[in-house]
Amino acid sequence: MQITKLGTVPDENVWATNVLSKLQKKISAEMRRLSTDIPYIPVNGHYEDEGSKDITWWTNGFWAGMLWQLYHATGDKDYETYARFSEKRLDDAFTNFMGLDHDVGFMWLHTAVADYRLTKHERSLARGLHAANLLNGRYNPIGKFIKAWNPDESGDRNGWVIIDSMMNISLLYWARDVTNDPRYDYIARTHADTVMQNHVRADGSVNHICIFDPKTGELLETRGGQGYGVGSSWSRGQAWAIYGFALSYVHTHDQRYLDTAKRAAHYFLANIERNDYESLVDFRAPKDPIQIDTSAAAIAACGLLEIGKQVPDLERQLYVDSALKILKHLDENNADYNVATDGIITDGSVQYNQNGPKRDRIVYADYFFVEAILRILGKDFLIW
Ligand code: GLY
């Protein structure tokens, strides 16, 4: 018997309802400990305030996004109150122009835009549009891409484009919808086309970084970025491609984007299936040492569920079943529901090559796990 449009069965709903109840208890406890603080990675079991370390940090929206998802699912006003603390604090980020990059999408989609989508709060509309205009301002009309990062010791990085950007451009689709201004749509679509043509390889694997000549648009080189190296496949980048292209399809109905999302998904699934639904940090890294990244799995699950909503009935079950396997693996092996400690999903990894701890609880892994569980239950809203 099918009970949701995703085609899940009653047992799955019982399981997801049970997980949601544990998530709510844990997140409510974290919320009271955090007050106005913005979490990232817990230290010795407890979150510190990332907002006072760096208010422009790209992950500063995810906590609020989680609270808005729970507010939407439950109607509990406490979630709304606490979500707005992050949104208000992010106003300080607008005054630090040099600290902001293309990740204004991640930051404001989960704060102001989520608020506006759910409450039509006027100040949130202005904040969301401010962020969307910052993203439009990074567009290179010669190469038809949005530049990712700002200058660093390596140079100006005016031609650097990364796969993660496919999530940020949802901010532009939202701005298009609320203003009816086609510039946002044009920039989002032409950027998506550039990424589709250059980052996504024929086999569905993706480059993390493509570097273009900003004066001609010519592709100069690709880099492994947060993955193992040149030509490798960083799993979180794969997950950004699955979900990001699925989202571009949702917002444009351009079939090429859905086909690209499916290609990235099939590559991801071929790799994760042979590892018992646990995601390596990079699918093309040496066998030893084994490094895993649960955040990639959680993001991919959200993307697979979104693809499942967009494809015909005959295709749907592959995506939904695979997402369920990933989520159940996370629930059974990588979830800490103890309300006394911070962070839910264990064993996330920021990048392949890094000093220090390689298995962390990272706020975005929690966000995507929550979003996926709510999507199984038909209780999420599209924050992207
Ligand atoms: N967007 C940066 C990352 O995925 O780590």
Give, using CA atoms, the residue closest to atom 1 of ligand 1.
Answer: 164
Per domain, the residue ranges of the chain are: 11-376
Helix (H) or strand (E) holding 117: helix 114-119
Is residue 8 pLDDT above 80, yes or no? no
236 is an annotated ligand-binding site residue = yes
Q: Please give the pLDDT value at position 354.
A: 83
Q: Which atom of ligand 1 is nearest to the CA of 240?
A: 4
Is residue 81 pLDDT above 90, yes or no? yes
164 is an annotated ligand-binding site residue = yes
* Catalytic residue chosen out of the listed positions 103, 347, 360, 366: 103
**What is the chain's mean pLDDT, rounded?**
96
Q: Please give the pLDDT value at position 355.
A: 73
Rounded to an integer, the average pLDDT of 62-73 is 98
What does the alpha-carbon distance between residue 53 and residue 7 come to, in Å, rounded to a whole number?
Answer: 44
What does the alpha-carbon distance between residue 322 and residue 272 come to, in Å, rounded to a whole number?
Answer: 10
Q: Please give the pLDDT value at position 358.
A: 74
Q: Please give the pLDDT value at position 268.
A: 98
Rounded to an integer, the average pLDDT of 216-240 is 98
Residue 181 annotated in active site: no
Residue 164 annotated in active site: yes
Residues of the chain with pLDDT > 70, as a percent, come to 98
**169 alpha carbon – ligand 1 mean position (Å):** 14
Rounded to an integer, the average pLDDT of 176-200 is 98
Is residue 1 pLDDT above 50, yes or no? no
* Catalytic residue chosen out of the listed positions 115, 164, 293, 331: 164
pTM, to two decimals: 0.97
Q: What is the DSSP string of 273-286?
A: HTTTT--BSBTTS-
- 268: which residues sit within 8 A by CB, 6+ positions away? 204, 235, 238, 239, 242, 300
Q: How confident is the model at residue 359 (pLDDT cuts 50, 70, 90)?
A: confident
CATH for the 11-376 domain, from 1.20.120.330, 1.20.1250.20, 1.50.10.10, 1.10.540.10: 1.50.10.10
